[in-house]
Amino acid sequence: MRSRKIITGFLSLLIFILLSAEAARSQSNQEFSITAENLQQGKQIELDKLKWRYHAGDDAAWAAAEFDDSSWEQVEGTKINPQSLPQSGWNGRGWFRLRFNLDEKLVNKNLALVMVQNGASEIYLDGRLLATFGEIKETGDTEYNPNRLPIPFKLDKAGEHILAVRFSSSLFADTSRGVGGWIAGGGGYPRFVIVIRDASDIVATISKYALDTSMRGGFFFIGFLCALALLHLLLYIFYRAERANLYYSIFAAAFAINMICGNYRTFGHQGTLPTLILSLIGLLMLGLTFTVLPAFLLVAFRRPIGRIFWTLTALWIVGLTLYGIFLSRYTAIRVIPNILIALSFTYCIVLLINALRKKLSGAWILFGGVLALQLGMFVLLLGQLGVLNIPQDFYFLAELLVILGVPVSVSVFLARNFARTNRDLEAQLVEVERLSEQQIEQERHAAELRAENERRARELEEARELQLSMLPAKVPQLPNLEIAAHMKPATEVGGDYYDFHVGDDGTLTVAVGDATGHGLKAGSVVTATKSLFNAFAAEPNISSILEQSNLALKKMNLRGLYMAMTMLKVKDRKLLVSVAGMPPMLIYRAATRRVEEVVIRAMPLGSVRNFHYLQHETSLSAGDTVVLMSDGFAERFNPKGEMLDYEKAKEVLAEIAGGSPQEIIDRFVEVGEEWAGSRPQDDDVTFVVLKMNSAAKSDVDK
């Protein structure tokens, strides 16, 4: 009796298991139906998200429609996840089979198969080869990514059909090590994405693919950014003082390269490894883009590139390095680029808000451009994360904001500044004419008196004499200072200039200038500067003198001619100095026997309207020597084209500082001539040397 119960229970359990297995098998074999309603109004059926039959390995018989795949493993989707491999495994090659029913309404209708893959594949429909993407070989696949290329096809009967995909990826044959392991660790798996679309109008389907490739590929925008990069690079090359052009050129070029990489990655047909390389290059260019953008804003608003910028740059370098090294180990590290982009954006917004608070010209234009870029990227990010369901048209508008936001705002910013400068120049024309009338009349009168065959030679000679007459006939004689000066122009008329003024209180004012180039045009700038020095030298504030002179030269509309200048005032032991685009001032300290460099970076006079010039104060002791010079000495070339440089000037001063000012100048001239050898002098050379003698100390003691 007891045995009968046990046998009955066992049979009941066995029947239950068999019935459950059959029910599960029946449910798993339930086929998917493709209906006309599924494909209405541009919809598509994502086959890769359905349940497929899968088997590892390779056998040509598995393509046949009549092949029985009921014993194959059923898998979710078409992605091989190394963390949960199918039961039959994965060794770089496998087959996927999908059964589906076709609606009667779709018989002999144009359909299109669209596929994206990491590897190579062959697609069979009802046992017939429909498409081949790449080449599957024993010694290594030739990968080809169709990347949404539509493959048209028709089915001539309703009912059941079989879609079989022979898929291979030799790169991912081993996802535990090597390149395949590194890519798999970073989230790149062997996979293919496959969908079916309606293709009733086959011409429209192909045209839409071509249009999407060209428009979404951004060829126009890439060309636009490359043109801007080249234009601003040329602007920087021809006028290096405006560094904003250089940074914007790098920004536009990096942005364009990033788009090119993204274009090839999204629409190209290269294999997995080239796609990975494009992704890494694109990421580097993205980092460069968002590193250079803050630098452009800093330079555009005349702010120094300080510690925050370099810290942000270091974070980008470290972050991208960690991203590349540890991506395969820690998936959380994928957020690093997004965090760095957020930091760069935040810094840019802070810079722009500060510029708006200070009411800097054009700040609101650049602020609008960066906000447009940020808004576009924010919308795209929400769309990619699935937080926001964005229609295709709005998605394209967001891309426009990302690509054109900053370039358009920068163009408007530069055009506005150019227009305002022209208006200011026109408004100052009357004053410019008044300041230059006397000089112009003198030149006309001199030209009328000379014979035509001697006009050019005599004009140069008189201009040279005029320039020399503007130099001091002798250096001031002061009880506490020894002074010497020297100037040698490169041509008949040079662009260098020096001058002295002794105030009623004994304050010595010294100016050393260097006009743009040399020749007659430079001489005209020197003439104007001489007049301005005579007018303003008695003022105690050097910054005020330079700012008034800068404004006056700017109003003269000298068309690209500027005057770099170093000006200092000495009273007793106190020295006050300001520099406008000149080389550093050198001070030899007798007590320490060291040479100091006084560097003040500023724009030359006449170049930037309303520029604020800084001044530096120091004290001098007995035996201290001050050297002012133009760039003609440090930038002198030898026959090999090598430049003398400023370090040599410091060495010469340290060597001869014990001599008199004239001996110091003679040594500088001798070193320059020895260096140049047979090469003619390239630029004007000017020196002014001041040496504090012992009388200065005794006066202070008294």
Task: Quick: pLDDT tens for 23-63.
Answer: 434 333 446 788 888 787 667 888 888 999 999 988 889 99
pLDDT band at residue 365, thresholds of 50, 70 and 90?
confident
pLDDT digit string (tens) for 401-440? 777 777 778 777 766 766 676 677 677 777 667 766 766 7
Distance (Å, whole) CA 14 – CA 452: 125
pLDDT digit string (tens) for 199-255? 776 555 555 554 455 445 467 778 878 888 888 888 888 878 778 888 888 988 888
* 6/324: higher pLDDT: 324
Return the pLDDT at 202. Answer: 55
Return the pLDDT at 11. Answer: 40
Distance (Å, whole) CA 468 – CA 455: 20
pLDDT at 695 over 80: no
Distance (Å, whole) CA 98 – CA 28: 11
Return the pLDDT at 212. Answer: 54
* 28/547: higher pLDDT: 547
Residue 126 class from Cβ within 10 Å (0-12 exposed, 13-18 middle, 19+ buried)?
A: middle
- Residue spans of the domains in the chain: they are 34-209, 218-425, 430-461, 478-701
Contact yes or no for 86/56 (Cβ under 8 A): yes
pLDDT band at residue 342, thresholds of 50, 70 and 90?
confident
Return the pLDDT at 494. Answer: 63
Percent of the chain predicted with pLDDT > 70: 79
Look at residues 345, 327, 253, 240 and name the one whose alpha carbon lies nearest to residue 291: 345
Average pLDDT over residues 540-561: 89
- Tell me the average pLDDT of the chain: 80
* 425/464: higher pLDDT: 425
How distant is the alpha carbon of residue 92 from its chain centre? 41
Phi/psi of residue 590, nearest 5 degrees: -65, -35
Distance (Å, whole) CA 150 – CA 197: 9
Instruction: Report DSSP letters for 387-428, one per residue.
Output: SS---HHHHHHHHHHHHHHHHHHHHHHHHHHHHHHHHHHHHT
The structure tokens 């029910």 sit at 23
* 135/664: higher pLDDT: 664
What topology is assigned to 478-701 in CATH? Phosphatase 2c; domain 1 (3.60.40)
Contact yes or no for 691/655 (Cβ under 8 A): no
Average pLDDT over residues 540-549: 94
Numbers of helices and strands, H then E, in the chain: 17, 21
The structure tokens 């929400």 sit at 382
Percent of the chain predicted with pLDDT > 90: 27
* 444/155: higher pLDDT: 155
Average pLDDT over residues 262-290: 79
pLDDT at 158 over 60: yes
Buried b (16+ CB within 10 A) or exposed e, 83-101: eeebeeebebbbbbbbbbe
CB count in 10 Å sphere of residue 543: 16
Residue 289 class from Cβ within 10 Å (0-12 exposed, 13-18 middle, 19+ buried)?
A: buried
Instruction: Report DSSP letters for 32-85, one per residue.
Output: EEE-TGGGGGG-EEEGGGSEEEEEES--GGGG-TT---TTSEEEESSB--TTS-
Instruction: Report DSSP letters for 632-672, one per residue.
Output: TTTT-B-TTS-B--HHHHHHHHHHHTTS-HHHHHHHHHHHH
pLDDT band at residue 512, thresholds of 50, 70 and 90?
very high
The structure tokens 């994502």 sit at 46
Distance (Å, whole) CA 584 – CA 215: 53
Return the pLDDT at 128. Answer: 92
Longest dimension (CA), the chain: 147
pLDDT band at residue 693, thresholds of 50, 70 and 90?
confident
Average pLDDT over residues 477-500: 85
Average pLDDT over residues 150-178: 83
pLDDT band at residue 22, thresholds of 50, 70 and 90?
very low
pLDDT at 18 over 50: no
C-alpha distance from residue 175 to each of 77, 88, 89, 191, 278 (Å): 19, 16, 12, 13, 21
* 366/394: higher pLDDT: 366
Average pLDDT over residues 131-160: 85
Average pLDDT over residues 177-197: 72
pLDDT at 4 over 60: no
Contacts 24+ apart (CB under 8 A), 61-64: 62/95, 62/97, 62/164, 62/166, 63/95, 63/122, 63/124, 63/127, 63/129, 63/164, 63/166, 64/127
Average pLDDT over residues 352-377: 82
- The correct answer on CATH 2.60.120.260 for the domain covering 34-209 is yes
Return the pLDDT at 449. Answer: 62
Which CATH number does 218-425 carry?
A: 1.20.1070
Provide the β-strand partners of residue 487: 686
pLDDT at 613 over 80: yes
287 residue type, one letter:
G
Structure token pair of residue 318: 């470290």
Give the single-character DSSP code of 475.
Answer: -
Q: Which helix (H) or strand (E) holds 499?
A: strand 496-502
CB count in 10 Å sphere of residue 525: 25
pLDDT at 592 over 90: yes
Taking phi first (over 0 means left), then psi (-120 to 50 degrees means alpha), and beta for anything else, what does residue 684 get? beta
Return the pLDDT at 550. Answer: 92
